[in-house]
Structure 1
């Protein structure tokens, strides 16, 4: 006996909507299991037109910015004073593309949720899978499956392009086998995956694409850029503990005593994303669609 009262295999009623999501296989208690939710969310994220643009744009921006940054910094190295030469960080210079990559992946994370709210297809999603935590968890896993490889490809290609540019300019450069290189490349990829999850969490809390974009730009770009202009201790705190600023230390080689070390800084970013994501799960579970 089916819930609609229609015999299995019979045609849909004439008034049925064709755009309603197909029913997912039932689990032991009549609801879709996590693997079914994950399969559905993976199809959604993978087939979004913006996903392809974001992945390609992230790779191009990360590699291109690393090459340009390496070339310009390499040309300027010979004219730097001794104190600036001692702080010259070829590792961070080649991975500077993460600044833009974090924004593109965070925006993708936000769109995973806000696009459904904007088109109102979220109603069909929650009708097919009433377990809301399962839906959001599936979105997070599907998003990570795209963001993490994209982040790794971006940091690896940026490292290669940036170091090649520095070497061509006759400036100090770093090899993949040197200390800190693998940590920066892998840690940078993890950081970019966290940025995508942050976007997912913010999009879930806000639900508006425009407001989500504004919030992410402010948090990831504007606050770190204008933090040094803040008064005294507030500027120091922002540079040291603001999550994107602290997390960005994972791609550096030079140790600034005023800033956190790479992994402690990464932990600050991870903790922030965990808190915001937990809040998103709580709100998503209780709020009406």
Structure 2
């Protein structure tokens, strides 16, 4: 005799589970991308070194410039004293800080190309625009407070040194002081994003460092020696030079005013980051 076939047991109440569609559980969201980029940049050894070097450079150069400004100011002519700029003197560290933060931005992407972890990143997050935006957001979260602390520390240290040396100095409540401190922090943040854009397009750490060093330091330093119109244009409109006017107090009629200069720098960063994204989207890892 054939035994009657057993009926399938009825599932208990509450035991039914909805099975997610294939691949849904492993789909990376933008929050996942942010978290991954935060862990990557926070644990990268160079990040701590760059942040500390930036803060030290800002306060150290401000103190040195302020301490030596007393003797220089005493030897100046009356016309030169009218052009003496306590704000720019105390915030000279921004010149070096823009390079260090730009290097951090470049390393945020070139380190992945060097170790080939960029393949894993793009496998987990195929949407390359999401990768670029996540890197830019995390980089900004580190560069912005670092830049603000750098300019604030440089201002306080520099003005204290100027006062001790007998040179003119300004306080935070004086006109233009907060604009220089806050605007300088924003300028340094733009420098970091500029470095990220350069790293995306160049991919090589060595080539990115060389390019950033040339564009942020070499070109502005050599601009006055360029022939005629080129020298005037470079001194006035070269993005790092134009953006750097945000930390000055003296108005040079041959240069851009602080906020127009900052706008030139911001526009350049937007254009380069857009170009970097288009390059990143079309190029193989």
Confirm whether residue 121 of structure 1 aligns to residue 121 of structure 2. no
Q: Which residue of 1 aligns with 2:186?
A: 190
Give unmatched runs, 5+ long, in structure 2.
Answer: 1-21
1:270-281 correspondence to structure 2 within 5 Å: 270-281=266-277
1:1-289 correspondence to structure 2 within 5 Å: 31-289=27-285
- 2:75 match: secondary structure: coil
How many pairs were matched up?
264
- 1:60 match: secondary structure: helix
- Name the CA distance, whole Å, in 1 between partners of 2:188 and 2:261: 14
- Name the CA distance, whole Å, in 1 between partners of 2:169 and 2:281: 50
Shift of 1:74: 2.1
- 1:78 match: secondary structure: helix
Q: Which residue of 2 aligns with 1:10?
A: none
- Name the CA distance, whole Å, in 1 between partners of 2:113 and 2:159: 43
- 2:281 match: secondary structure: helix
Shift of 1:29: 9.7
Moved more, 197-206 or 73-82: 73-82
Give unmatched runs, 5+ long, in structure 1.
Answer: 1-25
Shift of 1:231: 0.6
Shift of 1:31: 3.2
- Name the CA distance, whole Å, in 1 between partners of 2:137 and 2:227: 40
Moved over 6 A (4+): 26-30
- Name the CA distance, whole Å, in 2 between partners of 1:131 and 1:192: 28
- Name the CA distance, whole Å, in 2 between partners of 1:32 and 1:121: 17
Residues 29, 83 of structure 1: CA spacing in aligned structure 2 closer, same or farther, 3 A cutoff?
A: farther
- Name the CA distance, whole Å, in 2 between partners of 1:241 and 1:50: 31
State the TM-score, normalized to the length of structure 1.
0.90
Shift of 1:73: 1.4
- Name the CA distance, whole Å, in 2 between partners of 1:33 and 1:144: 20
Looking at CA atoms only, which structure, 1 or 2, has the larger radius of gyration?
2
Write the deviation string for residues 9-41 of structure 1: whole angstroms up to 9, x where unpaired: xxxxxxxxxxxxxxxxx9979631111100110
Residues 112, 165 of structure 1: CA spacing in aligned structure 2 closer, same or farther, 3 A cutoff?
A: same
Q: Which residue of 1 aligns with 2:16?
A: none
- 1:195 match: secondary structure: helix
- 1:32 match: secondary structure: coil
What is the aligned-residue RMSD (CA, Å)? 1.3
8 Å Cα contact 1:27-1:33 kept in structure 2: no
Write the deviation string for residues 237-283 of structure 1: whole angstroms up to 9, x where unpaired: 11100000000000000000000000000000000010000001111
Q: Which residue of 2 aligns with 1:18?
A: none
